[in-house]
Structure 1
Amino acid sequence: MKKQLLTTLIFIFSISIAVAQTHTVELHGKILTADGQPAWGLTLSIKNTKNVAYTDRNGVFRIAAPAGSSVLLIKSGVSSQEQEVAINANSDTKLETITIKEKSYELNEVVVTGQYGPQSMKDAVYKVRSISAEKIKFRAPTNIQQILNTEFGFRFTNDLTLGVSNVEMMGMSGRNVKILLDGVPLVDRSDLKEGLNQIDINTVERIEIVEGPMSVVYGTDALAGVINIITKGKSGYKFGVFARIQEETVGSEYEALNGLGSHNKNISVNWQNKGWNAMAGFSNNTFGGWNVPDKTATRDEVNAIQFWKPKDQYLGNARVGYGNNKFNIWYRADFVNEDITSRGGINPNYTVVTQEYITDRLNNQLHADWKLNNQLSLTLVGGYTNLKRKTSTKIYDFATGVESLTTGAGEQDVAKFNSTLFRGTLQYKLSDAISIQPGVEFNREGASGQRIKGSPVINDYAFFASAEIKPFNALKLRPGVRFINNSVYDAPVAVPSLNAMLNLTRDLDLRLGYGRGFRAPALRELYFDFFDASHSIMGNENLKAEKSNSFDGPLTWNAIRRDGIRLTSTVAGFYNDFFDRIEYGQYEEDASVTTLINISRYKTTGFSLDNTFNYKDFQAGFGLSYIGRYNDLTEGNYQSEVPKFSWTPEFFGNLIYTVTKLKGAVSLAFKHTGSRPSYQVTSTDPNNPRLVKIGSFTWTDLLFNKTINKYLAVNAGVKNLFDVTQLTNSSTSSGGAHSTGGGTVPYSYGRSYVFGLTFNWNKL
């Protein structure tokens, strides 16, 4: 591993030195909006040159410029302005702070997910939701889950046995959601999206969400959509230091700085000079568990309660790169060590069993963008992930004082997973009306472990292409297709998609989309075998890929944009039809053995209404969604007794009020999720399907943020204001291998109180 990292770094620096300019005079400064907020994502250029730059999240920019008198062009996406500048020939030139006429909410959000390049959200063919850095800061999160928890269409489930969570998006499970880190897929050991909460929240710049199948662009798993977690890039400052400490209660449980409660600590530094940039950071997250039984509790007492397991995380990251007007290259490494501890109760023979789940994950990324000319650019992405999950089980004998390893099946196991990615895309602008993007992608996945048959490897080769066509100014079309060849599973030969955006009026945009999606069988589903006293599970090497046909149609209205008021409303509908869905079933040659087979049909449908409102220092997002999930009993003999879909409503809102005079803000985020109905048949009454429900709940976070001085800020507040812990459940059957059937559903550890302090120092 060390040799691989060293080789990668040598490669980066070799290319960077080859393209570096020998000397550059730079113009640098800071741009603010009319309401005093950093103006990020603005396009800057020097008139009569090809020099281009962008403002970062702090509104800071650096741009190469010729000596003498020049004109700086500033484009905001809403308007543009010019400013004359005098450039010193012997040293860098610093400008006084520039203020543009637009307020922060009037600037178009820039998005990159699924785009040919950075694109304003309004002009993107796909409907992209973006969670900004400002919103993330005001939520005072400790992980990604706490950010998405109040976003509409998202729901989380928690496996207290393994100590992990999984995400559901628009009625579809996490196995159908593609999780990306800077556009590179996150690898997990199963279809649970554990990696979502193994990302250092302090490195996250923003989160972009695209609903609907993105299989043409991103390949497998992207049936429900894509969550792209975008990390902080190079800063406009020459040097900076950021530090954060945050303390939270867990329910009513808390110990200062360590032990019970949630404790988060981070420090990071960044640097840049003459096109070179680097940053590094370290975080420690400690979760003391909740409702954890006393060490003297018996086995039966422990088994009778639901408790959240203690978790420790150590996260490190580093980034280094070089860029100029035509070429940009950077390498990033993210490492996490996670330790989840599960202590059982005292057995009648005075022994106690303790299990540890230890995860080591190393993500490597290498990105390069090369602008060959105004019409042609090349993007290359390489990624390598090494994931190791160790299960260690020990038994302690109180009589002898001896601790030893247990010998049961699966109690001592090391599962190893690795993934290699290479993606290359060419963006070519044929004319103002036509752009094309052909690309190639190679994925290699490998695994080994006690429960994995052999050391399987899957190779996936793909060629994809799309075009963006504007037959006239009001219409934009994006057809695309992906061709796939896989070494193991039966992949679809071609995956097509077609998206369109029509500007009905200046303020009214209609988007329509169709996509063919697919999900490749995971290595675990193909090769996982686990047999013990309680389990008889066998993988199936003959699985086919899951497939789907999906349709969506969002309509966006920029209703009011005057006198400091802005209202934008989007109403959207969607329909997804899945087939060859992979589910557990009986093994054909032995009914006592469980295996995986392509048997299930599934559908989801629904609509949402999403509104954003801005007035002076007040920002609000509010709306509702109504999601229907298919009742698969209608595929059998129960068409007349069971409705085709069961529906769940959601109501949501995110409010931010900035108190300018106090240099502070108040943030309120809430979501009410209605009950989740479904139908099941029991062995006692097989002829009458029974309506069962998981209960409704309301989640609310209330946070305060205040800037103390130039360097320090504090945040405080309450999360889960209404103290949600468990959801009622009238089901009588188990929802999974580690669930508890008809018992209540664990959702959270209750109301928590937050206090945090951040330090931010930068040198321009």
Structure 2
Amino acid sequence: MIIFLLVLCQLQAQRIKGEVHADGSVLPFANIAVRGTAYGAVANDEGIFEIRDLLPGKYQLEISYTGFVTVYRKVVLSEKDVFIKVELLPDDELDEVVVSGTLKPVSRMETPVPVEVYKPAFFQKNPSSNVFEALQQVNGVRPQINCNVCNTGDIHINGLEGPYTMVLIDGMPIVSGLSTVYGLSGIPNSLIERVEIVKGPASSLYGSEAVGGLINIITKDPELSGTFTADSYLTGYGAYNLDLGFKMSVGEIATTLLGVNYFNYDHPVDNNQDNFTDVTLQHRISVFDKFSFRRPENRVFRLAGRFFYEDRWGGEMQWTSEYRGGDEVYGESIYTKRWEVLGEYQLPVDPDLMFTFSYTDHDQNSWYGNTPFMAVQRIGFARLTWDQELGSHSLLSGISGRYNFYDDNTPATENAHGNLPDEVMIPGVFVQDEWRFDEKRSLLTGFRYDYDKRHGNIFTPRLAFKWKLTDTDILRLNAGTGFRVVNLFTEDHAALTGAREVVIEESLKPERSWNINLNYLKKVYSGSGNYLEMEMSAWYTYFNNIILPDYDTDPDQILYRNLDGYATTTGFSVNLDYHLANGLKFSFGGTLMDVKKNDGGETIRPVLTERFSSTWGISYTIIPWNLKIDYTGNLYGPMRLPLAGDLDPRNPDSPVWSIQNIQFTYIRSKKFEFYGGVKNLLDWTPDKGNPFLIARAEDPFDKNVEYDNDGNVMSTPDNPYALTFDPSYVYAPNQGVRVFAGLRCFID
């Protein structure tokens, strides 16, 4: 009888089997416990576990791993074994540390300034050769291409144009003005730790240009990075990209992280048949080296440098370098060289003083048809900060200096006596105090003073209130001002092409903005392993002295002056991230906004400003196949487009358009990933529904354009729409559907 009962129990006993993963990869040696019992298991090196001899019934599993959030899963055993898949989230994914909002490391849940964080895994869902293109998947952030021929561009945040966005590398403002599109190219993706984005003015900490927001690209700490990384892919258009990262020790002195990016695209394509290249051809090399020095008491000393070279051209299909600068075949050819140095050094004194510095030298040799543009820009920046805790107050104060040198061959750097480079030193001082009333409420106040000899004294105050409703509910109210000193020739490609005459109607004043932003962040983490993050923001920004180029008054001119009135942007955005315990992940972002300017009592919407936009992503890993699927996309509402005259037959507004992509990643092991997919699944290009994109593409030097006695373009049989050559009608990428394939390699 006893033997019979033992056999019966053995027949009824079941097993719980499963696999533990993190971000689609196996997580070896995780601990699995059956709560309330002595049963448990440890996953093997492939993340697989098995718990035997359980009788039918209801159980709760506790799955844990150091550095990850513990997950609880309910399991019901009946007559069959049960197989489960468990996805663990890193602790830092729930509560990242950020620095961009307050210039000091602080938990994202604790900072009074809303900061969005994007890690390499986010950008790997839709691989790109540069940060500029990768940002198209961030809600409220839009890379704007400003020329159909050379494909230069800038970054729009919440509908504001590129000059209002400050781009930082490791907190240093080395990407600016002339160098924006080039500075965002060639940063090896293998070296990027994360990208932090602040939407709204940050001039009280960072000075000029941080008017609409800032993008801070934070590179990896050499001490914490892997030994070797590689990422290489090829597209159906023939573009090839290679990223390499190497970690090495320099004796007992330092650790260095070397990154190399190489990009090549040399296959002209003209799918819209206007005899112009649809995509700019590029040959680019970038080398980035970062040192972390070992010092007593773990004091910080990091030093980094980058060299960047690029040769890009676009133009008529028959163009070759022998036509550069001539008027036989039109081409836009740009040679760019950049040197960058940046670092941070913690002084060996008490209290804590941190010295940060950067310097960049940008040399551009370019021809737009037969119009030369030769420019040099040098930016030096230094900042000394003092960080001190005084009771319930967290103080940060500092002094800074910014050196700008700019010279080119245009009227921007000329006077009656000849060439006059723009050279200015802008000293500044700032102070910031975060007053913690209690564990739930804090108030941050800040103030900055800068002096610019061209514009005089500039003051930028700041206020931020944080109310921690619960441990996972944060309400933030931010208000502040921003300013921008203007060097328009370094920021507006249309002013450089030679297609229009530039007219500056008055002495330009610095632009000013006032902003208020209300932000709500909610995180929900269930014991079953599901995770939801929701963030909502509403904002209002008011500008005066704003400089908006006037393309409408005269199709042959760009008129610049300070706005006789004001401009506003009002909007609402929402971000949702939902991670399910089975590994399925959803993300969605949506933005509604109203951007307008009032000039002399007339209210209009600026060109290239969408009313709404959205981004999304769906990811799922089929664990038995080691296959991860990523579907990403974005959608943009109509924008007013820059027409070249009253008879211009092109659409005055863009349609609703979307770029969607799919990627399949085969995770061979922890060291190798093979990926491939399709970009622009809908094959959307801006020429759809338009008779042409580039005005007068058949006559790029305007040799057959006729003018009346007042200098206006005349309508003729050869030029029925009374147009001149103009490539500035652009709002979306010209590349259609294309496949891509690549390989990633990781060695710890």
Same fold (TM over 0.5): yes
Structure 2 distance, partners of 1:441, 1:198, is 28
- Please state how far the C-alpha of 1:157 moved relative to its aligned partner: 2.5
Cα distance change, pair 752–35 in 1 and its aligned pair in 2 (3 A): closer
Matches within 5 A, 1:646-665: 648-665=611-628
Alignment of 1:341-352 (within 5 A): 341-344=313-316, 352=329
What does residue range 266-665 of structure 1 map to in structure 2 within 5 Å? Answer: 266-272=243-249, 274=252, 276-288=254-266, 291-292=269-270, 305=276, 307-324=278-295, 325-344=297-316, 352=329, 354-370=331-347, 376-391=351-366, 410-411=371-372, 413-431=373-391, 433-451=392-410, 452-453=413-414, 454-488=420-454, 490-491=455-456, 493-522=458-487, 524=489, 535-537=500-502, 542-584=507-549, 596-599=560-563, 601-616=566-581, 617-632=583-598, 635-636=600-601, 648-665=611-628
Could you tell me whether the CA contact under 8 Å between 2:150 and 2:332 is conserved in 1? no
Q: Is 2:145 the partner of 1:179? A: no
Number of the residue aligned with 2:140: 153
Number of residues of Structure 1 aligned to a counterpart in Structure 2:
630
How far apart are 1:200 and its partner, in Å? 2.8
SS in 2 for 1:477: strand
Displacement, 1:732? 12
Instruction: Quote the offset at 1:707 in angstroms.
Output: 2.6
Query: Any idea what SS the aligned residue of 1:149 has?
Result: helix
Structure 2 residue matching 1:582: 3-state secondary structure: coil
Between 1 and 2, higher relative CO (CA 8 Å, sep ≥ 6) is seen in 2
Structure 2 match to 1:61: none
What is the CA deviation profile of residues 320-372 of structure 1, one whole-angstrom value per residue up to 9, with x for unaligned ones? 2213543111111111111112353679x995455521010111112123585
What is the identity, as a one-letter code, of the residue corresponding to 1:287?
A: Y
Structure 2: how far apart are the matches of 1:191 and 1:282? Answer: 19
Describe the shift of the 1:231–1:38 C-alpha distance in structure 2 as closer, same or farther (beyond 3 A): farther
Partner of 2:104: 117
Superposition map of 1:135-150 within 5 A: 135-150=122-137
More moved, 218-227 vs 517-526: 517-526
2:669 and 2:343 mapped to 1: Cα distance?
A: 37
Secondary structure of the corresponding residue to residue 562 of structure 2: strand
CA distance in structure 1 between the partners assigned to 2:457 and 2:316 by the alignment: 46
Residue 123 of structure 1 aligns to which amino acid in structure 2?
Answer: E
Native 8 Å contact 2:385 2:396 kept in 1: yes
- Please list the CA deviations of residues 76-95 of structure 1 after superposition, one character each: whole Å capped at 9, or x if unmatched: 6989xxxxxxxxxxxxxxxx
1:667 pairs, out of 614, 630, 643, with 630
Name the aligned partner's letter for residue 743 of structure 2: L
- Superposition pairs of residues 666-705 of structure 1, within 5 angstroms: 666-676=629-639, 692-705=652-665
Amino acid in the other structure paired with 1:719: K
Is this contact kept in 1: 2:135–2:143, CA < 8 A?
no
Normalised by the size of structure 2, how large is the TM-score? 0.75
Task: Give the distance between the partners of 1:646 and 1:338, measured in 2 at CA.
Answer: 29
CA distance 1:160–1:565, shift in 2 (3 Å): same
Give the aligned partner of residue 725 of structure 1: 685
Task: Measure, in 2, the Cα distance between the counterparts of 1:477 and 1:713.
Answer: 46
Q: Deviations over 1:46-94 (max 9, x none)?
A: xxxxxxxxxxxxxxxxxxxxxxxxxxxx996989xxxxxxxxxxxxxxx
1:747 to 729, 733, 739: 733
Q: How has the CA–CA distance of structure 1 residues 676 and 370 changed in structure 2, closer, same or farther, with 3 Å as cutoff?
A: same
Can you give the 5+ residue segments of structure 1 that lack an aligned partner in the other structure?
1-31, 40-73, 80-99, 251-260, 294-300, 395-407
Q: Indicate which of 711, 720, 723 corresponds to 2:671.
A: 711
Distance (whole Å) between structure 2 residues aligned to residue 593 and residue 230 of structure 1: 40
* Distance in 1, Cα, partners of 2:736 & 2:200: 33
> C-alpha separation between the residues in 2 aligned to 1:682 and 1:738?
11
Q: TM-score, normalised by structure 1?
A: 0.73
How far apart are 1:695 and its partner, in Å? 1.1
Secondary structure of 2:669's counterpart equals coil
Q: Deviations over 1:193-219 (max 9, x none)?
A: 442234333322211111100001111
Question: What CA distance in whole angstroms lies between the structure 2 residues aligned with 1:532 and 1:145?
Answer: 22
State the shift of 1:510 in Å: 0.6
Alpha-carbon shift at residue 317 of structure 1 (Å) = 1.3
Shift of 1:236: 3.5
Is the partner of 2:547 in helix, strand or coil? strand
Deviation, structure 1 residue 38: 8.3
Does the Cα contact within 8 Å between 2:356 and 2:382 map onto a contact in 1? yes
Shift of the 194–729 alpha-carbon distance from structure 1 to 2, 3 Å rule, reads farther
Q: Distance in 2 between matches of 1:168 and 1:304?
A: 30
Q: CA deviation at 1:145?
A: 2.9
Instruction: Tell me, yes or no, if structure 1 residue 201 matches structure 2 residue 173.
Output: no
Paired with 1:727 and 1:276, the residues of 2 have a C-alpha distance of: 53
- Percent identity of paired positions between Structure 1 and Structure 2: 19
- The separation in 2 between residues aligned to 1:632 and 1:379, in whole angstroms, is 44
AA aligned to 2:382 is F
1:123 match: secondary structure: coil
Counterpart of 1:378, as a letter, is L
**Residue 218 in structure 1 maps to residue 206 in structure 2:** yes
Q: Distance in 2 between matches of 1:646 and 1:351?
A: 36
For 1:424-462, what per-residue CA distance to the aligned partner results, in whole angstroms no more than 9, with x for missing partners?
Answer: 11100112x111101111011112232232222011010
Q: 1:54: which partner in 2?
A: none
CA–CA distance in structure 1, aligned partners of residues 661 and 692 of structure 2: 32
1:314 shift after superposition: 0.9
Distance 1:603 1:176 in 2: 14
Query: How many Å separate the matches in 1 of 2:675 and 2:101?
Result: 34
1:368 alignment partner AA:
Y
Q: Does 2:236 correspond to 1:236?
A: no
Question: SS of the counterpart of 2:125?
Answer: helix
Following the alignment from structure 1 to structure 2, what is the Cα–Cα distance between the partners of residues 627 and 129? Answer: 19
Distance 2:627 2:693 in 1: 49
The equivalent residue for 2:746 is 760
Residues in 2 aligned to 1:236 and 1:230: alpha-carbon distance in whole angstroms: 14
Specify whether residues 352 and 657 from structure 1 end up closer, same or farther in structure 2 by C-alpha distance, changes over 3 A only.
Answer: same
Aligned mates of 2:334, 2:731 — CA distance in 1: 22
Give the superposition deviation at 1:648: 2.0
Q: Contact 2:101–2:114 at 8 Å: present in 1 too?
A: no
Does the 8 A contact of 2:468 with 2:475 survive in 1? yes
RMSD of Structure 2 on Structure 1 (CA): 4.2
How far the C-alpha of 1:192 sits from its partner, in A, is 5.9
